[in-house]
Amino acid sequence: MSDDFFAPPPFSASSSVERIRRALREKRSLTERGAARFDWRGQPAVEIAVDGAVIRARVAKHPMRSSDWQLRTLSDGAMVRHWIEDTLRQVERWSDED
């Protein structure tokens, strides 16, 4: 018997970027700037870009003019879900700290 009974759908970077954008737009403390950048209180906080079949996502450790960035490469739906959850939690921490 084959182990291929259930295979997840193939990863689509472009539709996943749209999913990420929707999730980040719902967060009222983030402001969308163009198709690939979100600001938090006027400072760059999140950048996303499609790079072939993967998504390159950068999140500021703490938004400021010259932020330190955490880069993640997202290559499947599960990674996208976890990244969205982690990013939204991080934005909540920024709000709690201020």
67 within 8 A of 43, measured Cβ to Cβ: yes
Tell me how many degrees the CA angle 91-46-75 measures, rounded to the nearest 5.
105
Reduced to 3 states (helix: H, G, I; strand: E, B; else coil), residue 90 is: helix
What's the CA gap between 53 and 56, in Å, rounded? 10
**Cross-strand bridge partners of residue 43:** 40
Q: Could you state, in order of their start, the residue ranges of all structural domains in the chain?
A: 13-97
Residues 22-74 have pLDDT tens digits of 999 998 889 999 888 999 999 999 999 999 999 999 999 988 877 789 999 99
Contact 56, 49 (CB under 8 A): yes
List pLDDT tens digits, range 62-95.
888 777 899 999 999 999 999 999 999 999 998 8
- What region does 48 belong to: left with phi over 0, alpha with psi -120 to 50, or beta? beta
For residue 7, the model assigns a pLDDT of 75
Tell me, what amino acid is at 54? V
**pTM for the structure as a whole:** 0.84
